[in-house]
Amino acid sequence: MSILINESSRIIVQGITGRDGRFHTEKMKAYKTKIVGGTSPGKGGTEVLGIPVFNTVYQAVEETAADTSIIFVPAKMAADAIMEAADAGIQLIIYITEGIPTLDVVKAQRFVKMKGATLLGPNCPGLISPGKSMVGILPTHIFQKGNVGVISRSGTLTYEVVYQLTTNGMGQSSAVGMGGDPVTGLYFIELLQMLQDDPETEAIVFIGEIGGNAEEQAAEFITKNVTKPVVAFIAGQYAPPGKQMGHAGAIVAGGAGSAKDKVAALERAGIKVAKEPSAIPGLLKELLKK
């Protein structure tokens, strides 16, 4: 198994005719991801890379039975694109673009939940089930099928940690980049529960960063609900207090959200915290021997 996507997932690309949509559709298709259609208003009836294009998500779902959508449209159209997908019956919506106004995300997330769908992102690299499907902008050549689940707030660090795992012979069951904005869809607790329930996942790597208290909440959740080995890494340990680092969610303010506080919370929960990404495979191997 894997979480969220697999070889049977049927994906549409909203914004498939744009530069980024077309480029990443080609990469996903090369990975054997099942891209069944795309949307671009006014361009219905055409094709991109042999993939049919529809004017609306409703038409795409009706014609292709798609269950997943990845969205490549400008930030100002984000909320409408996300809500259109949810309203059309898409179950998993992945939104890549950064810079979406927070209130737009709040509105879209509320609508997605009302429709019983799931949102990943915004400002995220997507997700992959190695050897099965990739929906996003992930560099597929560094991933290897295996039994380590990876969840991360940082896209770039996802790639670094996965590279370290793969070069040390530790493949991945699923890897999910959730994004680092102040408001996002799926987050640590939901993804930790999915990996805990996944029989193919034997261990979990958890990549957090400064800002907010999601990592502290996750530490408490792991203590009560996760029985599999967990190794964590917290980015931003040398960030100056009060300075935004990278994106909107990575800011320490009001005496909360520092790397020191997050590391302390994780260690109190008995979770091994790596000092640098290259240390993660070694810590995992130690835990898996026990």
φ, ψ dihedrals at 152, nearest 5°: -150, 145
CATH code at 16?
A: 3.40.50.720
Which structure tokens are listed for 189?
Answer: 């607790």
Residues 285 and 143 in one domain: yes
Q: Give the 3-state secondary structure percentages of the chain, helix then strand then coil, rounded to 5.
A: 35, 20, 40
3-state DSSP call for residue 217? Answer: helix
The boundaries of the domain holding residue 88 are 11-120
Residue 4 domain flag: no
Q: Active-site residue numbers?
A: 247
Tell me: the pLDDT tens digits for 49-84? 999 999 999 999 999 999 999 999 999 999 999 999
φ, ψ dihedrals at 159, nearest 5°: -65, -45
Residues 112 and 143 in one domain: no
Residue 251 domain flag: yes
Residue 189 domain flag: yes
Residues 150 and 255 in one domain: yes
Residue type present at position 70: I
170 burial class (0-12, 13-18, 19+ CB within 10 angstroms)? buried
d(CA 278, CA 39): 41
Tell me: the pLDDT tens digits for 91-137? 999 999 889 999 999 999 999 999 999 999 999 999 999 999 999 99
Task: State the Cα angle at 92 between 228 and 156, rounded to 5°.
Answer: 60
Most distant CA pair in the chain, distance: 59
d(CA 228, CA 13): 35
Residue 5 near residue 133 (C-beta atoms within 8 A): yes
Q: What is the pTM of this model?
A: 0.93
Which structure tokens are listed for 227?
Answer: 């029985």
CATH code at 258?
A: 3.40.50.261
**150-164, 230-244, 256-270: the lowest-pLDDT one:** 230-244
Q: How many domains does the chain have?
A: 2
Q: How many CA atoms lie within 13 A of 223 on its CB side?
A: 12
When the pLDDT of each residue in the chain is averaged and rounded to a whole number, the result is 93
C-alpha distances out from residue 201 to 25, 83, 101, 145, 241, Å: 28, 32, 35, 11, 36
Residue 250 near residue 210 (C-beta atoms within 8 A): yes
pLDDT of residue 236: 77
Residues 104 and 148 in one domain: no
The residues pairing with 149 across neighbouring beta strands, listed in sequence order, are 174, 204
Which structure tokens are listed for 19?
Answer: 């530069």
pLDDT of residue 210: 86
pLDDT of residue 240: 67
Tell me: the pLDDT tens digits for 134-190? 999 999 999 999 999 999 998 899 999 999 999 999 999 999 999 988 889 999 999
Residues 144 and 231 in one domain: yes
C-alpha distances out from residue 123 to 31, 148, 179, Å: 22, 24, 5
